[in-house]
Amino acid sequence: MLFLTRNRRIIPKGVDFDQIDKEWDWDNFVILQALIASLSVYMFPHKFASMPVWETRGVLAIVVIHVFVSEPIYYWVHRFLHGNYLFAPYHSFHHSSAVPQPVTVGSTTLLEELFITAIIGLPIVGCCLSGYGSKSVIYGYVLVVDFLRCFGHSNVEIMPHWIFDNVPLFKFILYTPTYYSLHHSEMKTNYCLFMPFYDAMWNTLNKNSWVLHKKISLDAGKSKRVPDFVFLAHVVDITSALHVPFVTRSLSSMPYSTKVFMIMQWPFAFVVMLLMWLKSKTFLLSFYNLRGRLHQTWVVPRFGFQYFLPFASKGINKHIEDAILRADRLGVKVISLAALNKNEALNGGGTLFVNKHPNLKVRVVHGNTLTAAVILNEIHESVKEVFLTGATSKLGRAIALYLCRRGVRVLMLTLSTERFQNIQQEAPADCQKNLVQVTKYQAAKNCETWVVGKWITPRQQRWAPPGTHFHQFVVPPILAFRRDCTYGKLAAMKLPNDVEGLGSCEYTMGRGIVHACHAGGVVHSLEGWTHHEVGALDVDRIDVVWKAALKHGLQPVSSLPK
């Protein structure tokens, strides 16, 4: 949960898709230990059944055996694994994870897992043979060992330094996440399991262990690096709220799709939604780095359906405004509004905030200029007629004006003659004839290119002729009802190949692909533009933004290999 741990992270880099894929089978060690434990109970059923639930002397026995047997054995075997002959085949896989995470504990080879299982098993067997074994001691020991291993790999320093200042000997009794992270970066030091005493005794203790720990502990309450760019998103729906890294890291690294277990967790997610509605604030969800710039995604704690509740609009705008002002105070250069956060009826596409706070240093961007550019560049030059729904919206207006300049006849579906005429008058005089108002879907029965900016039902889709392609900029996307037609995805672009630390997918987008409004904010930041991009789209800037996106290495999804 980055919103809780961002200032306590030891290695600041993000966990990327490569590391997530390497650690995909992290739970193998859990399965292995469960199988061995089950086999032991099966082989000695009466001994386990006759064990007492609790034996006080067993706690002392298992601690003594762990400290004087398991710890030194682990130290020396671990040290040998870093030797020239054993490291590459047996231990390098574990160290290939650049950013330690709790699941990195299980990212090991079979030999290492058997070794760890033996290390855990020795105190248990010794305790039982001494006659002091109990069920609580066995289960408790395994849980404590697994917890401490995950604690050391967490990459989050929660151990306060004052403990070591007041009790200096304690630093040799229990390691910290900082201590273990140094082992991953400087592999010839800090070999111990949990007790730095053995590193100190055999002269492999990293001298920076406590200096770095103190620095991180003292800086924990301070904001560290300021993001250059922020994408201000919101929750789509209750089920997709589970598609986040701090709930299911592996699933969030893949495009969102509804899973059975997500449906089972719907009641829990619903309760969380109610709590967020009652009291919550905008929080940090994810981050990545691009060419030395820190990009973050913040989330307004509101769900999609809440944006359509009239009584909720004031509170939502307050959340968005607070996020913009916070970004301004921090020194963020660009903040891009996602989806419904820039809804025209809600805040005029961001104009509400820019007009209310004219001295903002942060640039507020709706990103719709690049969204329009993506859609327009998907429409082949040979197309001579387009049917457009949502025709008088910000995007619809820009698309209609751009296409009419290109000589394309645009059938604009709208019941408002006044709004249609206002848009038509914006077009050059010799192009106005290319804009045609229609009020029914039947008018498009011979048009094979539909641009959908307002949700249409399967029944309305029936008016499209066979072979029609549906371009769309509507959220949520329309249902792919017609088998004799094709459906485009929401406007999106792939981030440049040199993006670093990206490990989660943006809703239904593929890996490394973001919505066009997100990409528009990225381009705004990379170009260093100093203007706000809010309200109505400047049609003349569509090509400018498109060329800038391509220049910086962003790729339209339609050009990517299938």
pLDDT tens-digit readout, 323-377: 999 999 999 999 999 989 999 999 999 999 999 999 999 999 999 999 999 999 9
Burial of 485 (0-12, 13-18, 19+ CB in 10 A): middle
CA distances from 40 to 28, 33, 51, 131, 313 (A): 18, 10, 14, 17, 60
| Homologous superfamily in CATH for domain 370-488 | NAD(P)-binding Rossmann-like Domain (3.40.50.720)
Residues 106 and 287: their CA atoms lie apart, in Å, by 25
Q: pLDDT value at position 475?
A: 75
Q: pLDDT value at position 560?
A: 55
Burial of 254 (0-12, 13-18, 19+ CB in 10 A): middle
Q: Which residues of the chain have pLDDT under 50?
A: none
pLDDT tens-digit readout, 15-51: 999 999 999 999 998 999 999 999 999 998 888 889 9
The tokens describing 412, both together, are 């604009």
For residues 394 and 537, the answer to whether their CB atoms sit within 8 Å is yes
> Looking at the domain that runs over 229-365, which CATH code has it been given?
3.40.220
Report residue 501 CA to chain centroid gap.
10
Domain spans of the chain? 2-218, 229-365, 370-488
- Please check whether the two domains, 229-365 and 370-488, share a CATH topology: no
With the CA atoms of 276, 282, 284 and 288 taken in that order, what torsion angle do they form, in degrees rounded to the nearest 10? 130
Q: pLDDT value at position 38?
A: 93
Stated pTM of the model: 0.92
pLDDT tens-digit readout, 202-221: 999 999 999 999 998 888 76
The tokens describing 73, both together, are 């054995």
Pairing relation of β-strands 469-472 and 555-556?
A: unpaired
Q: Residues in the chain, how many?
A: 562
Write out the H or E segment, with its range, that includes residue 289.
strand 283-290
Helix orientation angle between 516-527 and 542-551, rounded to the nearest 10 degrees:
80
